Amino acid sequence: MKTRTTRTKRSPTSITWFGHSAFRLISPSGRIVFIDPWLDNPKAPPVAQDLSAADLILVTHGHCDHVGNTIALAARTGAAVIGIHELALHLQARGVKNVAGMNKGGTLIHEGIAVTMVDAKHSGEIDTEGTVIPGGEAAGFVVRMENGLSVYHAGDTSVFGDMKLIARLYKPSVAMLPIGGLYTMDPTEASLACQLLDPGVIIGMHYGTFPALVGTPAALRNTLPSRLKSRVRELTPGIPVML
């Protein structure tokens, strides 16, 4: 898999939230990873639509608010795209040149970045051009950086007991969890997820994009046990944080 990204010298991992479930990770060696890049969502800053560098794009499932701008971003940057097998076939049929399918429990290594697909509890059909077609199951990803930092993006999901296995197997340092409610878990369920995962940093996502997604990082913090409250980081769209 080729890359077009300019490399930088070793640094911490940078995480930028672009609203909803869209994130950009920049690894210690400068690899740029996007997850669920819906970059023109209502909370995204305008600059998000013009981003021109990416090495890897991860898509958790086929819903339009997660596939988002994947096709255009891949065409613009030459990034490799990874999704569950059926979604990968769909993206390939839509003209994505550098796409790889995988499935839950599998791991792909891309230029020093290890990507493991894990379970999520959600629907996964592809909503495209006014219709719905099969798209495989919804998933989450654990992304392990070159320095061992482990980042878990849960995708769209409710809490489920096997999150304790994700904690045991992958020991995520950072957990990005949906908290909006209605289509995913709300802060109360996300609080239990945090207790199962025990990450060092907790980042809420999939909230505030639409009026129905009422959960907030503050509500999540209020439901957590005392030992976890300080781990919640409330991100501002477009502003990177360093970990």
The predicted pLDDT at position 130 comes to 81
In a domain, 23, yes or no: yes
pLDDT at 95 exceeding the cut of 70: yes
In a domain, 21, yes or no: yes
In a domain, 64, yes or no: yes
The predicted pLDDT at position 131 comes to 86
In a domain, 41, yes or no: yes
In a domain, 3, yes or no: no
In a domain, 238, yes or no: no
pLDDT at 138 exceeding the cut of 90: yes
In a domain, 79, yes or no: yes
Share of the chain above pLDDT 70, in %: 95
Q: Which residues span the domain enclosing 164?
A: 14-226
**Phi-psi region for residue 95, left (φ > 0), alpha (ψ -120 to 50) or beta?**
left
Structural domains of the chain, count: 1
The predicted pLDDT at position 1 comes to 43
pLDDT at 4 exceeding the cut of 50: no
The predicted pLDDT at position 7 comes to 42
The predicted pLDDT at position 184 comes to 98
* pLDDT higher at 41 or 7: 41
In the predicted model, what is the mean pLDDT of residues 52-56?
Answer: 97
Give me the CATH number covering residue 185.
3.60.15.10
Residue range 21-49, pLDDT digits in tens = 999 999 999 999 999 999 999 999 999 99
The predicted pLDDT at position 3 comes to 40
Residue range 167-217, pLDDT digits in tens = 999 999 999 999 999 999 999 999 999 999 999 999 999 999 999 999 999
In a domain, 233, yes or no: no
pLDDT at 85 exceeding the cut of 90: yes
Average pLDDT in the chain: 95
